[in-house]
């Protein structure tokens, strides 16, 4: 019997023996099975700054996991060896949620990250691990493209503390041509995360000629200011030629600096540049008195001057600090 998956907006109709576009939701004898459940292909202890998440327990290590699969097919995917591959071809470890949380505790982690590929398509595993982590007093972070239907997203967000959502461009045609997806559900996911009280940070990978015009950058930052608030941290990330997009050069540093200037002009308080070493580009400053609050180099926190989440001047800084 053919089944239809109603997890993400793609609404795949799946014939027996076949999988949805994400490659891991399979029709087995008329039953939809999440075949990567309990089988992460990547489990690593990363600095939380690597996600990148800058306003969440800075300087801590986070146990980060992924299974194979993704519902987007970005031409520039950085992790395509695991996101765009069938589970048959990717080795995985057998780790049920309770075993994973026990490992996180053993490593002394305060939080878990569901990342690398697309945690929303290994949904059942992400949800079960998040619930177990909550019970154990750990926090949960999603690093995601945010392409999911509202109902399952609400169910998952109830157990999640923070999200790093990738807004790839403020253009429907970009989403269709480069990612094989659409923009609307991603923006809805950002608004929902904010509404449900998650700590939200946004990333935008700036790709030369595709989403790097001043108009593109202003549209993105204006939307963030008006719909998510000026306190939402925004990370502009440098593009490197990858996967099926080898024809474009890496993003010039000047474009990333221009993007940062535009975002600050539009009113965003915390704007960072990633994948590129530039002085000051990863530091957090107080939006009130401009004092240097958190100094970072690469994924390392050099100095953290925050006291109870506040600046010297008393300004409360957006984030989850303890």
Binding residues for other proteins (CB under 8 A): 1-7, 13, 25, 28, 30-39, 42-47, 50-51, 63-64, 66, 68, 78-79, 82, 86-96, 103, 107, 115-116, 124-125, 128, 143, 151-152, 299
With both helix axes pointing from N to C terminus, report the angle between 183-195 and 150-157 in degrees, rounded to the nearest 10. Answer: 30
172: helix, strand or coil: helix
Q: C-beta of 13: minimal distance to other proteins in Å?
A: 7
Identity of the residue, 178 or 293, whose beta carbon is nearer to other proteins in the bound complex: 178
Alpha-carbon span 208 to 248, nearest angstrom: 7
Q: C-beta of 149: minimal distance to other proteins in Å?
A: 9
Identity of the residue, 46 or 231, whose beta carbon is nearer to other proteins in the bound complex: 46
Alpha-carbon span 82 to 156, nearest angstrom: 23
Chain centre distance of CA 20: 22
Q: Please name the residues in contact with 207: beta carbons below 8 A apart, sequence gap of 6 or more.
A: 76, 178, 239, 245, 248, 251
DSSP structural state of residue 293: E
Identity of the residue, 79 or 130, whose beta carbon is nearer to other proteins in the bound complex: 79
Identity of the residue, 158 or 313, whose beta carbon is nearer to other proteins in the bound complex: 158
DSSP structural state of residue 296: E
Q: C-beta of 44: minimal distance to other proteins in Å?
A: 4
The DSSP-derived string for 98-143 is HHHHHHHHHTT-SEEEE-SS-TTTTHHHHHHHHHHHHHTT-EEEEE
Q: C-beta of 34: minimal distance to other proteins in Å?
A: 5
Identity of the residue, 113 or 192, whose beta carbon is nearer to other proteins in the bound complex: 113
Identity of the residue, 65 or 225, whose beta carbon is nearer to other proteins in the bound complex: 65
158: helix, strand or coil: coil
Element (H, E) at 183: helix 183-195
DSSP structural state of residue 15: -
Q: C-beta of 51: minimal distance to other proteins in Å?
A: 6
- 195 neighbors 232 (Cβ within 8 angstroms): no
Q: Please name the residues in contact with 206: beta carbons below 8 A apart, sequence gap of 6 or more.
A: 212, 217, 236, 237, 238, 239, 251, 255, 256, 259
Identity of the residue, 10 or 51, whose beta carbon is nearer to other proteins in the bound complex: 51
Q: C-beta of 269: minimal distance to other proteins in Å?
A: 24
Q: C-beta of 21: minimal distance to other proteins in Å?
A: 15
Q: C-beta of 166: minimal distance to other proteins in Å?
A: 9
Q: Which two tokens stand for residue 140?
A: 């949960």
Identity of the residue, 22 or 294, whose beta carbon is nearer to other proteins in the bound complex: 22
């Amino acid at each position: 019997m053919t089944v239809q998956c109603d997890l993400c907006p793609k609404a795949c109709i799946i014939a027996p023996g076949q999988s949805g576009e994400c490659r891991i939701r399979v029709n087995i004898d008329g039953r939809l099975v999440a075949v990567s459940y309990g089988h992460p292909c990547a489990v690593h202890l990363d600095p939380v700054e690597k996600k990148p998440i800058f306003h969440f327990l800075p300087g801590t290590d986070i146990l980060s996991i992924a299974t194979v699969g993704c519902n987007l097919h970005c031409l520039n995917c950085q992790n395509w060896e695991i996101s765009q591959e069938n589970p048959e071809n990717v080795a995985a470890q057998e780790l049920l949620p309770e075993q994973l949380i026990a490992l996180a505790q053993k490593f002394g982690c305060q939080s878990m990250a569901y990342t690398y590929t697309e945690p929303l398509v290994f949904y059942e595993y992400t949800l079960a691990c998040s619930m177990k982590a909550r019970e154990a007093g750990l926090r949960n972070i999603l690093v995601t493209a945010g392409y999911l239907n509202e109902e399952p997203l609400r169910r998952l967000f109830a157990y999640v503390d923070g999200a790093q959502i990738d807004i790839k461009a403020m253009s429907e045609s970009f989403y269709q041509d480069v990612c094989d997806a659409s923009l609307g559900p991603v923006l809805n996911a950002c608004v929902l995360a904010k509404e449900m009280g998650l700590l939200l940070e946004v990333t935008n990978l700036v790709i030369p000629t595709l989403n790097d015009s001043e108009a593109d950058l202003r549209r993105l930052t204006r939307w963030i200011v008006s719909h998510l608030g000026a306190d939402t941290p925004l990370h502009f990330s440098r593009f490197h030629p990858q996967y099926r997009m080898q024809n474009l050069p890496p993003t010039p540093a000047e474009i990333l600096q221009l993007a940062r200037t535009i975002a600050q002009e539009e009113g965003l308080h915390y704007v960072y540049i990633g994948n590129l070493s530039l002085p000051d580009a990863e530091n957090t400053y107080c939006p009130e008195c401009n004092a240097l609050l958190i100094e970072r180099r690469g994924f390392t926190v050099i100095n953290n001057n925050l006291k109870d989440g506040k600046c010297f001047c008393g300004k409360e800084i957006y984030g989850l600090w303890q």
